[in-house]
Structure 1
Amino acid sequence: MTDKQRVEFEHGPYRSEHDSIGERAVPRDVYYGVQSLRAVENFPITGLTMHREIINSIAEIKKASAITNYEIGLLDKKVADAIVRACEEIVEGKLHEEFIVDPIQGGAGTSLNMNANEVIANRAIELLGGEKGDYTLVNPNDHVNCGQSTNDVFPSAGKLAVLKLLVRAQIQLERLYTALLQKAEEFDDVIKMGRTQMQDAVPIRLGQEFRAYSEAIRRDIARFERAMDEMRCLNMGGTAIGTGLNADEQYLRRIVPNLSKVSGLRLVQAFNLIDATQNLDEFVAVSGAVKTCAVNLSKMSNDLRLMSSGPRCGFGEINLPPRQNGSSIMPGKVNPVIPEVVNQVAFNIMGNDLTITMAAEAGQLELNAFEPIIFWNLTHAVEFLTYAVSTLVDNCIQGITANRDRCREMVENSVGIITAICPHVGYEAAANVAKKAIQTGRSVRTITIEEGLLDEETLNKILDPYAMTEPGIPAKELLD
């Protein structure tokens, strides 16, 4: 830079910063620095910014590191306190706009790590009474990044972020589980027709269907518990490749306990830091749990759309709460919009899971460079699922009602009830009754009596609706 250019910078809206690539202008009032700007130029991918929980998590890591480095004598108190305060401001929601790097980036997260280092350093400099860019007071690398590498900071930030999001998701899943159980009890006396392969099968209680949904969600909650445990194990202290080079031994012992205190989360240090640095199977496992939950939610949503179809010309067994007009041309039409949005979220999560799987597999040797795309997809997968479950509970499940008469009518007119008659008359005779009922449109009950296979009193005992939804042979005593 020429002397003339330096004068212009000193009195203009820019400050001069340099890195190993060279020197360049940085807007004077911003908290990010030269390395953040280079990343913006290199990675114009999504036009979006990093997930807020990853930003908060990396700030918590920097805070815990500053506390640890002060405890072991590697940072003086004034610098450490300024770094800690800058990190606290970020966690409070301030300075998020200064995190300008794209969430999908090359370099295994180095751009985000340096973006954080620069923002924290410049805010700390301000707190100490200096001017942004005066890295003699607080240096992004020597002070804020002391004892760290992108390769332990970035994956740990990803795990912290996902862990926090899983906690919120599980709260919503617990709400869904409770709502489904309540509907199971409410609908326990509603007899309807069960179906297999979209054909009439045997009767089932609507409450039994909702209890089955609740069991699937209960398993999802258990999977999320295991997923959270996967995210608690960090490679902090491993630095570049897990060997711990340039991390003081005291720092290595103290950083994770300090991070647990700072974050309020129960965290542990990986037993093998090399393994924890190069292998990302935990994220694949977590994504698998989220995908499995999405599959269950989508299947349930499919069922709700089918059972509520109509209202006159479909199944019409249940009513979903009307949430909005369903058509700009068909007056009165109301669509199952909540199950539909859950389906779409599920499709997105399934696609994210494939991306996460491929990215985790694609790492080489001591590091996986593709963590950015994993964190982008996984954080949004968990967050979208949380929002989807929330609206499913509030705007759909809690307001579902049953069309009891419609359900009972379809059971009585169904050919499927012939299954209960079969043990009493034999398979072939029952099959002939079913065939005639289908061909003529007449009821199984009527044809069975006309054929002289059973009298009406016996048939009433066999075709007791509730008995047909429980284990055993209806009216078995008549066979003795």
Structure 2
Amino acid sequence: MIFREEKDTLGTVKIPVEKYWGAQTERSRINFKIGNPNSMPIEIIRSFGLLKKASANANFDLGIISEKKRNIISEVCDEIINGKLDDQFPLVVWQTGSGTHTNMNVNEVISNRCHVKMGEKLENSEKRFIHANDDVNMSQSSNDTFSTAMHIASYKILLEKTIPSIEKLKKSLQKKSLLFKNIVKIGRTHFMDAIPITLGQEFSGYSSQILHGLNSIKRTLQNLSELAIGGTAVGTGLNCPKGYDKKVIKYLSKYTGFPFKVADNKFESIASHDAIVETHSAIKRVAVSLIKISNDIRFLSSGPRSGINEIHLPENEPGSSIMPGKVNPTQCEAIIMVCMQIIGNDVTISMAGASGNCELNVCKPLIIYNFLQSSKLLSDSICSFTSFCVNGITPNYKRIKELLDKSLMLVTALNIHIGYEKSSIIAKKAYLNNSTLKKEAVRLGYLTSEEFDKYVNPYKMI
């Protein structure tokens, strides 16, 4: 491998000659060989591309950077945004807690790429027209830029990926609720028979859970839209010209179409990440709901002969390497595992969010890594669960009626006519004698056959 030499404040560093990054990136690459290379989420890099472009334009508007510099920086930022330089960002999540290494990785790549685009060779580092710190990082600090990139990436993935997938699932569950609205079945509490319910009512509960979780996420977007940019190192905005923050926000909103705004308090937005903690908590809420819903669907589809078997799931693939003909609720199992991962991520984000020391949270890369993982996993698993499970659920009418007719808890309808005590005796006798509620009610003399049929009608108990 051929190397070139670059200098920073600590001395000289050798860098692979074809790479655009500089000395600070290389030092991080050498000093933090923890986990997989390139583990810093690409969404953060793309968000930095948007931010550095907006910053260059804001600095130009304020008269502190030339048009030529603004234009060349913007061109390279567009390459980053469009994924053309993805291989130039090798750093891991497990680095400095401020994300400084990644900020400098972006600054150095932009500086060196500008150098090459202007016809120079990377080896001639002394002739750079664009300086990583003085030009690309002008009016900024890693502390406010990484925080800002975290919010851009979070907001973007929620609006473009996570929320649409949840809405898709909500619509599918609503559709099933309407399709199943006239299918009366036995309800269950404590895994035991309870009073009747319709399959549509059961699915309406699932739909409502997802709707409330979705609304919970949407309510957090207001705080997530606040950006720390302009606070520089600790929130005071040292070395940042007046009006810079508002101009950057204006450009970012223009590039993304999202309603970003200047943070109400930049000290808070750099020292803490409570907004992301809050949003992820709402994501966790959806995960908790999905575990409940998926387990219910597994339970109701169990069998086909030795379980409940009230609903049929799509048969997507063979379920066993040894048992021929077996088909398992694999989509349910997959989304349950995803949701358990999200719950674990929520604990991590909560602990990381609590790890702000004085004026700076020092677990920023960890927070955004887990947040983006949760958002992507939730979206992908919901899309799969909706398409390959929920959309294809059908009722087993025969089994539903069989279990409904046999249920002893239909006796609950008699409480208001003959009282709880007599109703309980009827149920116990029917169970012990392996007979029906009607037969025991008439035999005990509590009701006539006609009265029983009048009072105990599952279709009037829902």
TM surpasses 0.5: yes
Superposition map of 1:229-248 within 5 A? 229-248=222-241
Deviations 1:36-91 (A, max 9, x none): 11111222222142212111101100000011111112111111111101010111
SS for the counterpart of 2:4 is strand
> Displacement, 1:438?
2.1
**Contact persistence 1:108–1:368 (CA under 8 A):** yes
**Which of 9, 13, 23 matches 2:12?**
23
The alignment partner of 1:117 has SS state of helix
**In 2: Cα distance, 1:220 partner to 1:249 partner:** 40
Partner secondary structure for residue 221 of structure 1:
helix
Is the 1:235–1:276 Cα contact (8 Å) retained in structure 2?
A: yes
Report the equivalent of 1:249: 242
Quick check: 1:277 aligned with 2:257? no
CA shift, 1:174, in A, is 0.9
Residue 134 of structure 1, CA deviation: 4.6
Q: Distance in 1 between matches of 2:400 and 2:423?
A: 23
1-structure distance, mates of 2:343, 2:310: 30
Moved more, 45-54 or 268-277: 45-54
Residue of 114, 118, 121 corresponding to 1:124: 114
Deviations 1:348-384 (A, max 9, x none): 0000000000011121100011111101101100110
Quote the residue 2:352 is aligned against: 359
- Counterpart check, 1:32 vs 2:21: yes
Residue 45 of structure 1 aligns to a residue whose secondary structure is: coil
- 1:372 alignment partner in structure 2: 365
Shift of 1:411: 1.1
Partner of 1:191: 184
Letter in 1 for 2:221: M
More displaced stretch, 58-67 vs 453-462:
453-462
Aligned partners of 2:434, 2:85: CA distance in 1, in Å?
71
Tell me, in whole angstroms, the C-alpha distance in 2 between the residues paired with 1:352 and 1:138. 39
Structure 1 residues 128-137 or 182-191, which shifts more? 128-137
Letter in 2 for 1:334: V
Q: Tell me the equivalent position of 2:257.
A: 264
Assess if the C-alpha contact under 8 Å between 1:189 and 1:207 holds in 2. Answer: yes
**One-letter identity of the residue aligned with 1:193:** I
Equivalent position of 1:41 in the other structure: 30
For residue 148 of structure 1, what is the aligned residue in structure 2? 140
**Which residue number corresponds to residue 427 of structure 2?**
434
Residue of structure 2 aligned with 1:65, choices 24, 37, 55: 55
Corresponding position of 2:89: 99
- What value does the CA root-mean-square deviation take over the aligned residues? 1.2
Equivalent residue number for residue 199 of structure 2: 206
State yes or no: 1:54 paired with 2:47: no
**Could you list the per-position Cα deviations for residues 200-249 of structure 1 after superposition, in whole angstroms to 9, with x for gaps in the alignment?**
11111000011111111111111121122221001100000000000011
Q: Matches of 1:197 and 1:388 in 2, distance apart? A: 28
AA at the equivalent of 1:101: L
**Using a 3 Å threshold, how does the CA distance of structure 1 residues 48 and 403 change in structure 2: closer, same or farther?**
farther
Give the counterpart of 1:397 among 372, 390, 415. Answer: 390
The sequence identity of aligned pairs, in percent, is: 38
CA distance in 2, matches of 1:455, 1:156: 74
Query: Which deviates the most, 21-30 or 129-138?
Result: 129-138
The equivalent of 2:2 in structure 1 is 13
Structure 2 residue 153 is matched with structure 1 residue 161: yes
SS of the residue corresponding to residue 408 of structure 2 reads coil
Shift of 1:197: 0.7
C-alpha displacement at 1:436, in angstroms?
Answer: 1.5
Q: Answer yes or no: is the 8 Å Cα contact 1:193–1:203 preserved in 2.
A: yes
- 412-421 vs 304-313, which deviates more? 412-421
Q: Is the 8 A contact 1:125 1:134 kept in 2?
A: no
User: Structure 1: which 4+ aligned runs deviate by more than 3 Å?
Assistant: none
Contact 1:66–1:84 (Cα < 8 Å) also in 2 = yes
Q: Please tell me the residue identity of whatever aligns with 1:350.
A: I
2:57 counterpart letter in structure 1: I
The separation in 2 between residues aligned to 1:13 and 1:48, in whole angstroms, is 21
Structure 1 residue 441: deviation in Å? 2.1
Instruction: Decide whether the 8 Å contact of 2:97 with 2:361 is kept in 1.
Output: no
TM-score by length of 2: 0.97
Residue of 101, 105, 110 corresponding to 2:100 = 110
Instruction: Quickly say closer, same or farther: Cα 1:135–1:433, change in 2 above 3 A.
Output: farther
What is the aligned partner in structure 2 of residue 476 from structure 1? Answer: none
Gaps of 5+ in 1: 1-11, 470-480
Match of 1:180 in 2: 173
- Answer yes or no: is the 8 Å Cα contact 1:43–1:106 preserved in 2: no
- Partners of 2:454 and 2:170 lie apart in 1 by 36
Name stretches of at least 5 consecutive residues in structure 2 with no aligned partner: none
What per-residue deviation string (whole Å, max 9, x for no partner) do you get for residues 265-290 of structure 1?
21000122112211211111011001
- 8 Å contact from structure 1 (residues 306, 315) kept in 2: yes
Measure, in 1, the Cα distance between the counterparts of 2:324 and 2:223: 51
- Give the Cα separation in 1 of the matches to 2:211 and 2:127: 53
* Residue 139, structure 1, aligned to residue 131, structure 2: yes
Aligned residue pairs: how many?
Answer: 458
| 1:311 equivalenced with 2:304 (yes/no) | yes
Tell me the equivalent position of 2:343. Answer: 350
Deviations 1:439-479 (A, max 9, x none): 2222212211222222222222222222111xxxxxxxxxx
Quick check: 2:97–2:364 contact (8 Å CA) kept in 1?
no
Q: Distance in 2 between matches of 1:150 and 1:464?
A: 69
Q: Secondary structure at the match of 2:356?
A: coil
